[in-house]
Amino acid sequence: MFFEHCQEADDFLAGLERRNEGEPEFLQAVEEFVRTVMPFVLDHQKYIDAQILERMTEADRIIIFRVTWEDDLGQIRANRAWRVQFNNSIGPYKGGLRFHPSVNLSILKFLGFEQTFKNSLTGLPMGGAKGGSNFNPKGKSDREVMRFCQSMMIELHRHIGEDTDVPAGDIGVGGREIGYLFGQYKRLENRVTGILTGKGLSFGGSKVRTEATGFGSVYFCENMLGHRGDSLRGKTCLVSGSGNVALYTVDKLHTLGAKAVTLSDSDGFIHDPAGIDQDKLRFLKDLKEVRRGRISEYAERFKGVTFHKDQTPWGVPADAAFPSATQNEISAKDAETMIENGVQAVCEGANMPTELAGIHQFLQAGVLFGPAKAANAGGVAVSGLEQSQNALRLSWSHQEVEARLQGIMHDIHAKCVEYGENPDGTVNYVKGANLGGFVKVADAMLAYGAV
């Protein structure tokens, strides 16, 4: 069984629920974590004595503020913004900013919590954080987005710093937003420093940062399959989303000889049985990164492609799946369908895209399941490399950064195997990633005493 019954875990989670009422995403993320690490914690009295799980599930600090800005019609608008500084035991806080109308405290707490262990897995000295706003950049002009970002940074700049907290992008925050945020920070502080990652290449950004999460997710899947003596070559793959993570997942799948046949956005999904090749990707990058269009336009542009309104891609038969849009996009029912259709590997490009019951089904069916903490850690890993380059005032080549990314994904896979290998030689990557991330953070917290 994936979740063995454990009274201590039940009691802990009941207390957590009382302390975090009405925060379902946060409770879901902690439940997945606690149910896998509790047996290990119970075997190590030092963690019990230090109340390590109670402390790890309480954010260090949460900053909530109002962002007031003016739209193109001259009307005053107000949004809510947050920075959840979750845990800085192993390094300065690090984690993205998300701009989406659905953003709330529960979502940012789940993301900040997960980020802590993901960052630990990279082997780089980074703590965990997440932030963002319920601001919706969709349909806004560049000027409106700029005014929002500038106003947000007027408050945010007090709480961040290259040795304190280094935000990056996430849903709704790409190169354009990072440029506006960084420009405003520089103006307020009169310092040019590595305060955000995902910056443009002309002002301190790292090569391969844009591609890193998608590339890393495919490398992780290739590692999981390789451990079984298989590879991605010739495999048909489902990808959801059509943003940063999804497009560079498709890109690397094509390079490694696999065939991505779907992409999606919140309007529906496209199915291209011929596969998305580099020519089609060029169209997609222009559509999504420059024109900010909708995925349905892909079906209008290319022959043999169908658009399925208000549906997700999980019913299309395939060998592997890369959920790369948002949380809880694969339900238990979807997981059942995918298993029936013979899916062999699922690699989470997005954060927490699979419901707990879906994870349970994949593990029970022996599907290789790469959890987000491990599978999408490539993005933050290259962000860490961007911080190093900024501190050194150097810029590494594309080849150098990509080789480091590949090495980090390989090491994360090895860590998951170290902590997640079953007696029969199969690997529970959920357990491996949670324990592999936990130990380093927990031991740092013990070293600091009661803080």
Closest-approach residue to ligand NAP (CB): 243
Confirm if 420 and 431 have CB atoms less than 8 A apart.
yes
Residues forming contacts to ligand NAP in the complex (CB under 6 A) are 169-172, 174, 213, 241-246, 265-266, 324-326, 349-351, 376, 379
Among residues 137, 153, 156, the alpha carbon closest in space to that of 145 is found at 137
Residue 450 beta carbon to ligand NAP: minimum distance, rounded to whole angstroms? 33
Nearer to ligand NAP, 153 or 250 (CB): 250
20 is in an annotated binding site: no
Residue 303 beta carbon to ligand NAP: minimum distance, rounded to whole angstroms? 23
Among residues 134, 93, 96, 148, the alpha carbon closest in space to that of 116 is found at 93
Residue 45 beta carbon to ligand NAP: minimum distance, rounded to whole angstroms? 35
115 is in an annotated binding site: yes
Nearer to ligand NAP, 266 or 364 (CB): 266
130 is catalytic: yes
118 is in an annotated binding site: yes
Paired strand residues for 306: 271
437 is in an annotated binding site: no
Nearer to ligand NAP, 38 or 261 (CB): 261
Residue 239 beta carbon to ligand NAP: minimum distance, rounded to whole angstroms? 10
94 is in an annotated binding site: yes
Among the listed residues 130, 199, 252, 373, the single catalytic one is 130
Residue 21 beta carbon to ligand NAP: minimum distance, rounded to whole angstroms? 23
Residue 247 beta carbon to ligand NAP: minimum distance, rounded to whole angstroms? 8
Strands 127-133 and 93-99: parallel
Nearer to ligand NAP, 380 or 439 (CB): 380
244 is in an annotated binding site: yes
Tokens of residue 76, six digits: 């005053």
Residues classed as catalytic: 130
Binding residues: 94, 115, 118, 169, 213, 244, 383
Annotated binding site for substrate: 94, 115, 118, 169, 383
